[in-house]
Amino acid sequence: MASVFPSSVIVSINRHMDDKSNKLTITERDSIPLSQRYKGMVCVVQNTGTTLPQIFGLPDGNNLTNSGWVEIPIGGDIDLSDNIYIHTQNTAELSWVVPHNLDFRRPAVDIFDKDGNKVLIEIQYTSVNIATINWTKPMTGSAIFRKY
């Protein structure tokens, strides 16, 4: 399954995003030392035989081995832990209303267009569990919400 996220994405619980988990192959992903893995970790793999990179996560803190990686499907929303929520917007809309359910007033958010480009745009936090993203034209893409 193709991903709409850019190649530099890694989501870390209570950490900033960086490219430490951007890997070229599944073999490179699997070579990440167990001591550096954690529940909610996300890894982007560039060359998986698909057009775009694929994203894998470790949702189970009790299984951080290579068999614990789960592909994050595009086309739905993913809750990797109590601290991270990934929203995918497949239908172009002027406003994305995102029920992140993090019970956190202003979570950190990274937003990406359909081509995986990071986008800077104002976010309205309508409650501790809902955010609204308003566009000037209908957009598709993804957003990563996380507590910090």
What is the pTM for the complete model shown?
0.55
Instruction: Please choose, from the candidates 106, 107, 87, the residue with its C-alpha nearest in 3D space to the C-alpha of residue 97.
Output: 87
Beta bridge partners of 119: 111
Q: What are phi and psi of 55, to 5 degrees?
A: -115, 135
Mean pLDDT of 51-66: 78
Taking alpha carbons only, the member of 139, 146, 31, 30 closest to residue 95 is 139
SS3 category, 141: strand
Q: What is the pLDDT of residues 61-97, one digit of tens each?
A: 788 898 888 877 655 555 556 678 888 898 999 999 9
Mean pLDDT lowest for which of 6-20, 23-37, 39-53, 101-115? 6-20
* In the predicted structure, residue 2 carries a pLDDT above the cut 50: no
Report yes or no: 113 and 77 within 8 Å, Cβ to Cβ: no
